[in-house]
């Protein structure tokens, strides 16, 4: 699986500028954002299931049982979509409508690889939003949806031979980071959709095959606009750990060693500093999504 990096240094003007939000307004925006992501997932799964039959999945070496699970996954996502629509309507707001998408639907196996990634991003989205949600009712609902997304992620990872439980902790990501990922798959949205108060960072893509492993060198390439004078850090976000590694540059490429604390689906940003406080002011671009093969599990004898 190859991905390519483009890192440029101005924020894309995909979202409205950030007004000061009342907390209840922010809750509704988060519901709208969740609905935006669920609509994307829903479209992706429905298209895949309408394009490929059980035989196509079996020809691609998936089991019939996994195909059945895919149908349950699509059913769950539809239920999430309906739930969010109703929750948004109950606040008096108008739910965002479907957009037009640019989805990776080349083959059943590519679809399942992307599904595993999307579900992981879904987990990161709900987990990252948790600290922004003020209503306890919505927080419980977000936790409920998050758990289901994690089950989907586990099923898809298992089906493609990745360890489902590759990290002891799920990875929270900020709304802007999630928005950055989602906007790569969204071509355009209806003009009257509620504008979300989030923005997309410039894209960062890995220029080598994945998975990678701890201590391996991993290379990204920029489109030539890395600032010359600044030390650039490659910041890995994996589980609850944020680790910045000094990047080594060669022209428009930058490489770094995968840190010990990265495991499973992880996210990479280029940053101007090594602070674990990732903010808009130190993120240059990202996140790239990488897969880090987990180390063999070990146990601490004193904890038996
Ligand atoms: C490089 O970044 C610029 C500025 O964002 C963008 O317009 C251009 O398309 C990018 N080039 C490539 C090759 O992606
Ligand atoms: C399915 O598995 C068989 C046996 O391992 C292999 O020969 C074949 O190439 C695989 N097909 C696909 C589409 O991966
Ligand atoms: C946008 O317009 C369409 C049709 O004109 C309408 O069905 C939809 O509810 C509107 N969406 C929003 C978010 O106002
Ligand atoms: C990574 O490298 C460090 C330093 O050389 C070493 O102590 C550690 O055991 C390595 N970890 C793995 C998982 O290879
Ligand atoms: C950065 O350095 C390279 C090589 O030293 C040079 O070609 C390029 O013009 C410089 N870019 C900027 C923005 O200064
Ligand atoms: C830097 O990149 C060029 C190709 O872009 C490559 O030929 C060269 O070997 C690289 N240098 C180092 C030190 O990796
Ligand atoms: C972070 O960067 C500062 C300089 O900006 C340096 O003094 C410090 O040692 C770095 N910390 C780590 C963990 O790399
Ligand atoms: C992280 O940075 C933001 C913006 O610079 C700041 O408001 C916040 O207090 C910082 N958080 C921590 C834990 O340092
Ligand atoms: C094992 O657990 C004990 C108790 O929590 C802790 O003090 C110790 O550092 C742990 N050892 C390792 C190797 O993680």
Ligand showing the shortest atom-to-Cα distance for residue 161:
2
| Residue owning the nearest CA to atom 9 of ligand 8 | 277
The closest residue, in CA terms, to atom 6 on ligand 1 is: 8
Structure tokens at 242: 């944020």
Residue 223 has pLDDT above 80, yes or no: no
Residues 172, 69 share a domain: yes
Domain membership of residue 193 (yes or no) is no
Domain final position from 188, 214, 241: 188
User: Is residue 1 assigned to a domain?
Assistant: no
The rounded Å distance from CA 4 to ligand 5 centre is 22
Burial code (b: 16+ CB inside 10 Å, e: under 16) for 137-172 equals ebbebbeebbebbbbbbbbbbebeebeeebbeebbb
- Does residue 304 form part of some domain? no
Q: What is the pLDDT of residues 57-92, one digit of tens each?
A: 999 999 999 999 999 999 999 999 999 999 999 999
- Residue after which a domain boundary falls, among 161, 188, 215: 188
Q: What is the mean pLDDT of the chain?
A: 90
222 has a pLDDT exceeding 80: no
Ligand 1 midpoint to CA 6 (Å): 7
Same domain, 88 and 158: yes
Same domain, 174 and 254: no
- Residue 11: pLDDT band (50, 70, 90) is very low
- 280 within a domain of the structure (yes/no): yes
- Tell me if 299 is assigned to some domain: no
Average pLDDT over residues 1-13: 40
**Same structural domain, 136 and 247:** no
Residues 49, 171 share a domain:
yes
183 and 262: one domain?
no
The confidence band for 286, taking pLDDT boundaries of 50, 70 and 90, is: very high
Ligand nearest to the CA of 258: 4
- Nearest atom, ligand 9, residue 301 CA: 1
How far apart CA 29 and CA 231 sit, in angstroms, is 36
Q: Using CA atoms of 266, 230, 245, 287 in order, give the dihedral in degrees to the nearest 10.
A: 0
CB of 85 shorter than 6 A to ligand 3: no
Q: What sign does the CA torsion over 86, 88, 93, 94 have?
A: negative
Residue list, ligand 6 pocket, CB within 6 Å: 250-251
pLDDT tens-place string over residues 149-170 = 999 999 999 999 999 999 999 9
Same structural domain, 224 and 118 = no
Co-location of 179 and 251 in the same domain = no
For residue 224 and ligand 3, the question of a CB distance below 6 A is answered with no
Which helix (H) or strand (E) segment is 249 a member of? strand 248-250
- Band (pLDDT 50/70/90 cuts) for residue 12 is very low
Q: Is 60 in the pocket of ligand 2 (CB under 6 A)?
A: yes
196 in a structural domain? no
Total domain count, the chain: 2
pLDDT at 10: 41
- In the predicted model, is pLDDT for residue 20 greater than 70? no
Give ligand 4 pocket residues (Cβ under 6 A). 214-215, 260, 295
Is 271 part of a structural domain of the chain? yes
Q: Atom 1 (ligand 9): residue with closest C-alpha?
A: 300
Give yes or no: residues 157 and 265 share one domain.
Answer: no
Which residues sit opposite 283 in a β-bridge? 271
Lowest mean pLDDT among 22-31, 129-138, 242-251: 22-31
Structural domain of 249: 204-293
Distance 262 CA to ligand 7 centre (A): 19
Pocket flag, ligand 3, residue 193 (CB < 6 Å): yes
175 and 212 in a single domain? The answer is no
Tell whether 229 and 91 lie within a shared domain.
Answer: no
Q: Determine the pLDDT at residue 303.
A: 75
Using the 3D structure, point to which of 154, 188, 222 is the last residue of a domain.
Answer: 188
**Same domain membership, residue 240 and residue 147:** no
Distance 89 CA to ligand 3 centre (A): 13
Within 8 A by CB and 6+ apart from 248, the residues are 254, 255, 256
Q: What is the pLDDT of residue 19?
A: 43
What's the CATH number where 89 sits? Answer: 1.20.1260.10
- Pick the closest to residue 54 from 68, 38, 40 (CA basis): 68
The enclosing domain of 246 has a CATH number of 2.60.40.10
Closest C-alpha residue for ligand 9 atom 6: 302
Question: Which residue's CA is the nearest one to ligand 4's atom 13?
Answer: 214
Per cent of the chain over pLDDT 70 is: 91
Highest mean pLDDT among 133-137, 194-198, 234-238: 234-238
């Amino acid at each position: 699986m190859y991905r390519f990096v483009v890192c440029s240094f101005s924020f894309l003007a995909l979202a409205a500028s950030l007004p000061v939000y009342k907390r209840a307004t922010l809750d509704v925006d988060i519901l709208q954002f969740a609905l935006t992501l669920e609509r994307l997932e829903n479209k992706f799964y429905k298209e895949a299931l309408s394009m490929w039959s059980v035989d196509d999945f079996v020809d691609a070496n998936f089991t019939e049982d996994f195909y059945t699970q895919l149908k349950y996954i699509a059913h769950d996502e539809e239920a999430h979509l309906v739930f969010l629509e109703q929750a948004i309507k109950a606040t008096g707001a108008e739910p965002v409508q479907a957009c037009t998408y640019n989805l990776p639907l080349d083959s059943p196996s590519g679809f399942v690889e992307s599904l595993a990634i999307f579900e992981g991003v879904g987990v990161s989205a709900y987990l990252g939003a948790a600290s922004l949600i003020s209503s306890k009712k919505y927080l419980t609902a977000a936790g409920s949806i998050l758990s289901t997304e994690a089950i989907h992620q586990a099923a898809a990872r298992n089906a493609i031979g990745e360890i489902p439980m590759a990290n002891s902790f799920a990875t929270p990501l900020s709304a802007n980071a999630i928005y950055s990922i989602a906007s790569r798959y969204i071509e355009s949205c209806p003009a009257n959709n509620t504008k979300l108060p989030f923005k997309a960072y410039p894209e960062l893509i890995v220029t080598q095959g994945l998975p990678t492993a701890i201590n391996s060198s991993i290379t990204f390439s920029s489109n030539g606009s890395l600032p010359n004078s600044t030390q650039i850090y490659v910041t890995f976000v994996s589980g609850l750990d944020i680790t910045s590694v000094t990047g080594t540059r060669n022209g428009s490429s930058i490489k770094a060693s995968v840190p010990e604390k990265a495991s499973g689906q992880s996210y990479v940003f280029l940053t101007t500093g090594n602070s674990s406080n990732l903010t808009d002011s130190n993120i240059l671009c990202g996140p790239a999504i990488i897969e880090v093969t987990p180390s063999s599990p070990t146990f601490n004898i004193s904890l038996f």
